[in-house]
Structure 1
Amino acid sequence: MDLLTLKQKLGEEQPMVLEDFASQHKVTLEQILQTLGCPMISGSLFDRIWHEITEWSNVTLIVHTTDGIWEWGGKLPTGTYRHGFFNLRSKEGLSGHIRFENCAKIAFLKRQFMGAETASVIFLNHQGQAMCKIFVGRDSHRQLLNEQLQHFEQMQHYTTVEGK
């Protein structure tokens, strides 16, 4: 599907779950994000972005598979590199192992979802699909946390040392 047709379909259908829309129309999540004009940076900045988000207060991490949408909320754990994985270090809550080398791009998506503004950092693999998404946290009035949102905006402009 060409980008013009994809943009038209996105406008007409206004999908709630972008992965479902991508699957239905046989495109990648990355193609949808590009069509939406979503800023993206190199996946080589995985470590820097992940580390900076660990400094934020509560966030929501989502992993979307064909069989479910898994959500976790809390303070993101730090990690270390070993045996080809980025290993999350947490004694409680979220733990696991990320194949960090699979991260090709990191996208920054702001959009309305179910009547509320959302902002998420999306780690994309080489196939253009989401490895995981991390959403900016909310205050007690369900508003995006301003400090996190400002940092989210700044991270979109990071570049690698080589300027890629």
Structure 2
Amino acid sequence: MPDVTPDLEARIRARLAEEPGAVLDHVARDLGVTPAAVIRCLPVEEARVVDGAYFEEIMLACAEWGEVTMIVHTDDVILEAKGCVPRGKKAHGYYNLHGAPIGGHFKYDACAMIAFVSRKLFTSDTRSIQFFNRQGGCMFKIYLGRDEKRNLREDQVAHFEALRDRLADAA
């Protein structure tokens, strides 16, 4: 992933301090950096990063958590699919999910970094797992689900935190 100069890192951190609920992809676009560079500038209580080699382990764990929201965010589209992550498997160079509404084929060996993100988005608390390629672009995100009162599901938060802590501590 491309390196960020100390001056640019200071600008990213200043922007995040000014707009604590900002969409990270927009911060990256506005400052001309990758989304991964922005993630790396978040305080440790907001983002813990692990190696992309944990891709399959994380995806299999998420398959046990119930309904989540998977997001693919490009410059032109924010695509959301709400549902359960199906158990996937590797074949033909892809990690394959055969399910609906969440399904697809992921080039798992392109994943260089995975971030466990705990922060406000606009005014709502969120927890997400974000997958980044070698160029620092975000491949996709998995956001934890919410209950009928729009609160994060406590069971998913517990699973998220346990997985994050176990993998980040192993690094």
Provide the TM-score with structure 1 as the length reference. 0.91
Do structure 1's residue 85 and structure 2's residue 91 form an aligned pair? no
1 CA distance for matches of 2:21 and 2:125? 15
- Deviation of residue 101 (structure 1)? 0.4
Q: 2:23 aligns with which of 14, 17, 25?
A: 17
Do structure 1's residue 142 and structure 2's residue 154 form an aligned pair? no
Match of 1:55 in 2: 64
Do structure 1's residue 113 and structure 2's residue 139 form an aligned pair? no
Mark the runs of 5 or more structure 2 residues left unpaired by the alignment.
Answer: 1-6
Q: What is the alpha-carbon root mean square deviation over aligned residues?
A: 1.6
Higher helix share: 2
Do structure 1's residue 152 and structure 2's residue 152 form an aligned pair? no
2 CA distance for matches of 1:126 and 1:46? 13
1 CA distance for matches of 2:156 and 2:167? 19
Q: 1:96 aligns with which of 97, 104, 123?
A: 104
Q: 1:72 aligns with which of 55, 59, 81?
A: 81
2 CA distance for matches of 1:146 and 1:85? 32
Q: Is the 8 A contact 2:21 2:121 kept in 1?
A: no
Q: Is the 8 A contact 2:146 2:152 kept in 1?
A: yes
Equivalenced residue count is 161
Mark the runs of 5 or more structure 1 residues left unpaired by the alignment.
Answer: none
1 CA distance for matches of 2:137 and 2:162? 23
1 CA distance for matches of 2:11 and 2:104? 39
- In structure 2, give the amino acid aligned to 1:139: D
- In structure 1, give the amino acid aligned to 2:24: L
- In structure 2, give the amino acid aligned to 1:158: R
Instruction: Using the aligned pairs only, state the percent identity.
Output: 35
2 CA distance for matches of 1:20 and 1:28? 10
Match of 2:36 in 1: 30
